[in-house]
Structures are given as C-alpha cells and as structure tokens.
C-alpha cells in the first residue's frame, strides 16, 4: 500500500532531500544537491520565493520505505499577474512504479482544484531561476548542479498518465578549441565604436557586488518577452546574490557598459562543480568545501549560466564584446569544454548566439502538462 506523507519538520524535509541519494547511489551521472543548500531553499523563512509562492512537500512510502517525493507549488505571481491558472510540481523523484507517480501527483491535483486552477505543469521550481524539466535525452551525460537528472522512465510515467509535452529545452556543449575568434573579433571592434560600448571586467567578488542589482534589473528586462517569465523581486535579488555570486569566479562575470556607465548586457559563466559535488557527497563539511574550492580554481569545464541584453541593444551584436572577453580569459585558464544551460527550443534569438561555436546538442528535457 502506498501512503503519502507531507514533510514539514526539519527531519522530514531532510528525508525528502536525501531520497535521491539512495535512488541514484550507483549512477555515475547523477550530481547530488548540497544538502544544507537544498534545505535552506525549502525554508519558507529564508527563501524569498515563498513571498509569492506556496509549496507543499510530499514523501511516498510503501512498507515504511521511501519510494518517491514531489513538491506541489503555486506561483501566485504567475497566476494573478499572468493569468496562467497553473499548479506546478517540482523536485520529483520516484522508483519505477507508475502507481507511486500517480499517488504523488494526486496531491498536486488536490492543490490545483482547491484553488480553482486549470492545469498542472512540471517539473519546475518556485521561480525562473530554479531547475526545470525532466530529462528525455542525455542520460549517459553527467548532470550539473543547476539541472535535475532523472531516470528514463520518468517521461514514460507522465505519458502513461495522460500528460503531454508543454515546453521543450535543449542543452548544448562545444569544445573551446572549436571557438573561432574571427567570428566575433571584428564585430567586437565595430560594435564598440558604433555604440560607444566597453567591457567591464572584475578580479574580485567585492568588485562585482555593487553591480549585481543592476544585473538582475537587466535580466528582468531582457527576458520579459518570454511567455513563461516571472520577474525577480528585490528580495530575491538579495537572496540569489548571497547564494550564487560567491560560487562564481569574478573573472567569469562580464558586463558591457555604454558611455554613461549604464549596463546594457551581462553574462555569467560558472566553473563546472559536478565532479566536486559528487566527491563532496552532498556535504560542505568537513571536506566538501575543499572539493568545491579546487573546482572553482581548477575546473577546465565551464557552464554559460545566464546571458542578457537590453531589448534596445538586441540584434546589434553586443554579445561579440562578451565573447571576446571570455575568449581571452578561457585561453588563459586552459578551458577545455563549454556547456549551455537549458534553453527553450523556440528561443531562436538565444540559440542563434551560438551558431559560430559549432554547438552539439547533448541533452533534451521538457516539462509536461495535464488539464485538471
């Protein structure tokens, strides 16, 4: 018999977080979360996402053994401001038993119907900067700290239960040796002169911090046209600033300014922490943080995490300035592979940015939808 329990206490939420550790213990491509970071993200007194979202954490048990988990979510900004009558689900993991999946999703339906919502979509997080999508291709590729990994049967479970694909994402990679600087060096010089723009580089995290709020403002403006976008609030800016910026080499954060020192474009690249987090086994202490520090300094793989350009500067080759700056720092640091985070297959502008780098799609993922 399958029973569903709501996880409320710290010990119950810890059990929730740790379930995938047993599910994927023999999988060399699964990258665990940092347990403390995950628990903090689920703390409704610490994560500002809960100012506009409500969430309920559920654990599935059979014979007193944990066999699945799910979070049922309503992003009220999305519902009220965008009129998307959607209940979300995320942090979904389950054994290969569709009845367990069905029982977990029933809790999501209950929340949706209680609030007169019209459909369910997932997996996705509380906001736009959370992880998204169930992996459908690329199971033999190592995961990252900013995406979910899952077994192949997840998608089969959803389809068996009447779900259809809602949004599709691709992830691509390219060896750094494939980068041909002639594709952006000439444009870099031309764009700088024509629009009176200049790059802004950093050597320390302290130098970056005064600019982070402006970066998130630009992020909100540059992504506003996407149908699924929910703007980042001021409190979320502070939260993400503390949570992520210290993980990133300051040399991997690039801004482009106009002549009045207004930021018109930005990009964030992260070193790959996948192998380091695997070695840390989800714990920063006593030695996990050492693995992460080494990866921050020595990783030869990088992930293009975010890139944004003001709408009035889009289609003006401003990214040539950013790519030129990255080319120099990657060459200096001996970077081997570059990876892209999930991007919507219909985001042609973003995909077009990488056409000269000969990117190879190595993963696909999607969200699934079902009417209530």
Q: What is the pLDDT of residues 330-343, one digit of tens each?
A: 999 999 999 999 99
The values of phi and psi at residue 325, to 5°, are -65, -40
Q: Are 337 and 301 in contact (CB under 8 A)?
A: yes
Pairing of strands 360-371, 119-122: antiparallel
Question: Is the C-alpha dihedral spanning 11, 16, 17, 20 positive or negative?
Answer: positive
pLDDT, average across residues 320-337: 93
The single residue listed with the structure tokens 């403390």 is: 36
Which pTM value belongs to this model? 0.93
Residues 6+ apart with CB under 8 A from 80: none
DSSP 8-state class, residue 115: T
Give the contacts of 83 (CB within 8 A, at least 6 positions apart): none
Percent of the chain topping pLDDT 70: 99
Tally the C-alpha atoms within 13 A of residue 41's C-alpha that lie toward its C-beta: 21
pLDDT of residue 244: 78
Give the C-alpha separation, 110 to 121, whole Å. Answer: 14
Averaged over 179-203, what is the pLDDT? 91
pLDDT digits (tens, 9 = 90+) for 90-100: 999 999 999 99
pLDDT digits (tens, 9 = 90+) for 147-185: 999 999 999 999 999 999 999 999 999 998 888 888 888
| Domains parsed from the chain with CATH numbers | 2-170 (3.40.630.30), 174-365 (3.40.630.30)
Q: What are phi and psi of 171, to 5 degrees?
A: -125, 130
Q: Residue 251's pLDDT band (boundaries 50, 70, 90)?
A: very high
The residues, any chain, with a CB within 8 Å of residue 211's CB and separated by 6 or more, are: 200, 255, 263
Q: β-strand 65-75 against 337-340: which pairing, if any?
A: unpaired
- What is the number of helices (H) and of strands (E) in the chain? 13, 14
Asked if 123 and 101 count as a contact pair (C-beta separation under 8 A), the reply is no
Q: In whole angstroms, what is the distance from residue 94 CA to residue 100 CA?
A: 7
Beta-sheet strands, E only, within the chain = 2-6, 53-62, 65-75, 86-94, 119-122, 134-137, 164-175, 198-200, 253-257, 263-271, 301-309, 337-340, 343-344, 360-371
Number of residues that make up the chain = 372
């Amino acid at each position: 018999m399958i029973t569903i329990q709501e996880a409320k206490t710290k010990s119950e939420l810890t059990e929730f977080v740790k379930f995938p550790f047993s599910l994927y213990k023999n999988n060399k491509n699964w990258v665990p979360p940092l347990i403390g970071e995950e628990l903090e993200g689920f703390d409704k007194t610490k994560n500002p996402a809960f100012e506009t979202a409500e969430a309920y954490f559920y654990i599935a048990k059979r014979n007193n053994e944990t066999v699945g988990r799910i979070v049922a979510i309503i992003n009220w900004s999305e519902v009220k401001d965008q009129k998307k009558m959607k209940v979300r689900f995320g942090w979904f993991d389950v054994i290969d038993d569709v009845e367990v999946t069905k029982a977990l999703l029933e809790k999501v339906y209950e929340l949706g119907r209680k609030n007169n919502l019209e459909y369910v979509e997932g997996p996705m997080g509380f906001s736009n900067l959370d992880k998204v999508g169930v992996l459908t291709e690329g199971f033999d590729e190592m995961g990252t700290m900013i995406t979910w990994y899952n077994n192949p049967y997840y998608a089969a479970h959803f389809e068996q239960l009447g779900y259809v694909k809602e949004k599709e994402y691709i992830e691509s990679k390219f060896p750094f040796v494939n980068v041909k600087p002639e594709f952006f060096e000439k444009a870099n010089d031309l764009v700088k002169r024509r629009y009176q723009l200049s790059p802004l580089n950093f050597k320390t995290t302290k130098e970056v911090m005064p600019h982070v709020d402006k970066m998130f403002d630009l992020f909100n403006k540059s992504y506003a046209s996407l149908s699924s976008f929910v703007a980042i609030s001021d409190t979320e800016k502070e939260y993400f600033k503390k949570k992520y910026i210290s993980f990133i080499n300051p040399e991997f954060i690039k801004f482009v300014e106009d002549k009045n020192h207004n930021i018109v474009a930005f990009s964030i690249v992260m070193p790959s922490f996948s192998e380091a987090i695997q070695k840390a086994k989800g714990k920063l202490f006593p030695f996990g943080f050492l693995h992460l520090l080494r990866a921050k300094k020595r990783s030869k793989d990088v992930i293009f995490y975010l890139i944004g350009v003001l709408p009035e500067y889009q289609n003006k080759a401003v990214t040539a300035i950013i790519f030129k700056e990255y080319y120099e720092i990657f060459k200096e640091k001996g970077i081997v592979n570059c990876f892209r985070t999930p991007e919507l297959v219909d985001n042609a502008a973003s995909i077009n940015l990488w056409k000269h780098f000969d990117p190879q799609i190595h993963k696909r993922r999607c969200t699934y939808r079902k009417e209530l």
